[in-house]
Chains A and B, each alone.
Chain A
Amino acid sequence: MIVGNAKPIEEVLSMIEPFDKLIVAGCNGCVTVCRAGGEKEVQILASALRLAREAQGRPVEIREVTLERQCDPEYVELMRPYVGDYQAVVSIACGAGVQFLAEHFSKTPLLPGINTGFIGVTEKQGEWSERCQACGDCVLHLTGGICPVTRCSKSLFHGPCGGSVEGHCEIDKEVPCGWQLIIDRLKALGRLDLYEKLRPMKSWKTSRDGGPRRIVREDLI
């Protein structure tokens, strides 16, 4: 899922400073699962903003909505009938959701209420970690199912570097060395032979480096 994290409430308060009639919009997708932008978070953020603004003597009216997904036009369009009645929308969906709302409602300022973190997994309640950089050219079959681009701090294709110590990365003892993970997994699979192969320079064209990307499926159009 896409994992996000709430922006500090002070930052959201400063964004909404000019407005007194707002929508706080959540998303039932990824950000609900990672507890950053679902219905509950919409309620909490809206309530906190109301309290804060009322205490400042400048009450704010907030409509609370949570779309099924902010990244699909059908759901986004459900806001159209009323969005014009509000001065701004605070979206607590991922960056894609915020932008999609902005694209659809060109006259309404869109304010991001969360910071979008990464494509990742739930390690345990309250802890998520990154797994995929969306480089657009997956090599997981060569690396024991562990991504060198994401899990190695230097995205090395021939790791680990000299900074790998006791399974952790040189940047932080809390960060596992991606290449240690790869080697352990290849060993478990009996495929250490894959380690000793030279990998050509990666083409980053399929990554963000090639410019903003799109996927077009003619068969679905």
Chain B
Amino acid sequence: MLVPCTGRVEEILVLKAFESGADGVMVVGCMEGDCHYLVGNIQARRRVARVADILEKIGIGGQRVRMYNLSAGEGVNFAAFANEMTEHVRGLGPSPINVVRKGPKK
């Protein structure tokens, strides 16, 4: 799904990712203060916080969603953040949803 800005990443989009089996979601926006739409990335941060709160309360884990900020030219940083997130989620293990879907260990 294409969005022009993290400001268009609504809570439901992130939650749907978890329903679709994601173990973690990273939302990567522009640097704060550099939003082409003024406050899109600030809104995204708030929404990510809301989703984290919901995930925490329903037992999925609020740590599974994170917001990162970087500028379009920072490919190296992006890779570093992606690696960091991957390690972070790997540390958390599979989402409880995926544990259930996989069924009991044989």
Contacts and interface: CB of A to CB of B under 8 A. Distances in A.
Interface string A47-82: 110111011110000000000000000000000000
Given A40-B10, A44-B54, A48-B54, A55 B15 contact: no
Nearest to A8: B57
Contacts of A44: 11-12, 15, 54
Contacts of A10: 57
A47 B59 contact: no
B19 interface: yes
Contacts of A54: 97, 100-101
A90 to B, nearest CB: 15
A33 interface: no
Given A55-B97, A55-B100, A48 B10 contact: no
Contacts of A40: 10-12
Interface string B20-64: 000000000000000000000000000000000011011110000
Contacts, number: 46
Contacts of B57: 8-10
A51 B15 contact: yes
A43 interface: yes
Given A9-B54, A55-B59, A47 B16 contact: yes
A54 B95 CA distance: 11
Contact of B15 (A13, A48, A56): A48
B73 to A, nearest CB: 32
B12 A51 contact: no
Given A47-B19, A50-B19, A55 B58 contact: yes
Given A9-B57, A48-B58, A50-B19, 9 more contacts: A9-B58, A40-B10, A43-B12, A44-B12, A44-B15, A47-B16, A51-B19, A51-B60, A54-B101
Interface of A: 8-10, 13, 40, 43-44, 47-48, 50-52, 54-57
